[in-house]
Structure formats: structure tokens, C-alpha cells
Amino acid sequence: MKRVSLDGRRLAILDWPDVSKLCLKLWLKASGRFNPDLVVAVLKGGFPVGLWLASLYGKPLAFLQIKHYRWWHRRSKPVLLRGLSFQVEGLRVLLVDDVVDSGETLKLAFSHLKLRKVKALKAAVLHVKPWRRFQPDYYVKETADWIVYPWEKQELLLELLREGKASGKFLEKLGLEISRSASPRLV
């Protein structure tokens, strides 16, 4: 994990090995306490976490699509873009995402699943923020840093290019670099 500062924010830049370790820790915390019939990931950040947990549990994976952020520019409230398209009534469901910031995204997902009459519902995430208003049942770490997961590096690069903050030296700190052809690529 790399830590850098940008516009007064501390960023924690994670790589895939970091995420692998966090997912395993999350599964170890949750698996002794809850055995789901189904893992439901919140797209898109929860999808890699959901893949890991569904695989470790040996359970099927489904997803919900909720939009709330465009980098650190928060929308007023989350919007459910795609709900579950099949029956989950009577199932034990583990809802997963990468991070709980305000908690509004998981609140919306929780409400959607409760309306579907699941038997039991628990939430698991890799990170939580100190100011959250939703408490997941399981998490690995609390942090105030803005977390950049490996699946978000392309979006960060595009945002930095849009805002004119994509200097070569700074991009190298983020694990990104500009090749001689001036086209950005991930390292």
C-alpha cells in the first residue's frame, strides 16, 4: 500500500496483493459467525470483494448496482441502478462492498434486500470510515484515508487528467506512469 497526499486528502493506494489479504481477513472474521446462502456484491467496488468471499464460502454471487460517487465528488444520495432479478426470499444473504463511507449506499442496498424478504442479512466490507452512519456486521479496518483500490486506478487517472493534476512524478507515486508515447498506463 502506498500513501500520498492530493488536494489536502490522504490517499491510500492499494494493489491486488493488499486486497487479497484484506478479503481473506474479512472472510476469517465473518465465516465463523455467518454462513450465507448467497453473497450479494454492490457494484462496482464490492464485486472483487464479492468474488473472493463467494469463492471462499463456496456460494453463488449476485450483485446490485448503486451509484453514489464520482471520485470525491459525492452525489446527493445513492441511486439503485440495478436490483436483484431473481428470488431471494428465505435466503441468508451476505451483502458486500469495498468501503462504508457515509453508509448511504449500504443502507439503500439493505433496504432493497429487506423488501425481498431475505431470512437473514449481514453486511461485510473491507474498510469503514470513522464518520459512517451505517455499521456493517464485519469489516477489516477503519481509516479516514481516501482509498484507491486497484480497480479504481483508471478512474483516478482520468480524473487527474481532467483536473490537470497528472504530472509524471505524481503519477509514479500512485503506481501509474506516462509512457513516452504520452498515453497513460497502469503499472
Q: pLDDT at position 27, please? A: 98
- Does 185 reside within a domain? no
pLDDT at residue 54 above 90?
yes
Answer for the pair 177, 185: CB distance below 8 angstroms, yes or no: yes
What range defines the domain where residue 11 resides? 2-150
Does 54 map to a domain? yes
Give me the pLDDT at residue 69, please.
58
Q: Is the pLDDT of residue 34 over 70?
A: yes
Measure the CA angle with vertex 69, ends 101 and 166; round to 5°. Answer: 105
Task: Choose between 105 and 170: higher pLDDT.
Answer: 105
Sheet holding 9-13, edge to edge: 2-6, 9-13, 146-148
**Residue bearing the bigger pLDDT, 102 or 156:** 102
pLDDT of residue 4: 82
Q: pTM of the entire structure?
A: 0.85
- Quick check: is 174 in a domain? no
What's the pLDDT at 79?
82
CATH number of the domain enclosing 109: 3.40.50.2020
Q: For residue 164, tell me if it sits in a domain.
A: no
Q: Work out the percent of the chain whose per-residue pLDDT is above 70.
A: 84
CB-CB contact of 104 with 131 (8 Å): no
- How far is it, in rounded angstroms, from Cα 34 to Cα 116? 19
**Does some domain include residue 56?**
yes
Give the DSSP H/E element, type plus range, for residue 52: helix 46-57
Look up residue 168 and give its amino acid: G
Binning pLDDT at 50, 70 and 90, where does residue 15 land?
very high
> Which tens digit of pLDDT belongs to each residue from 90-147?
999 999 999 999 999 999 999 999 999 999 999 999 999 999 999 999 999 999 999 9
| Residue 170 maps to a domain | no
- Domain assignment present for residue 11? The answer is yes
Instruction: Flag whether 162 is in a domain.
Output: no
Residue 65 sits at the vertex; the CA angle it makes with 78 and 44, to the nearest 5 degrees, is 100
Q: How many domains in the chain? A: 1
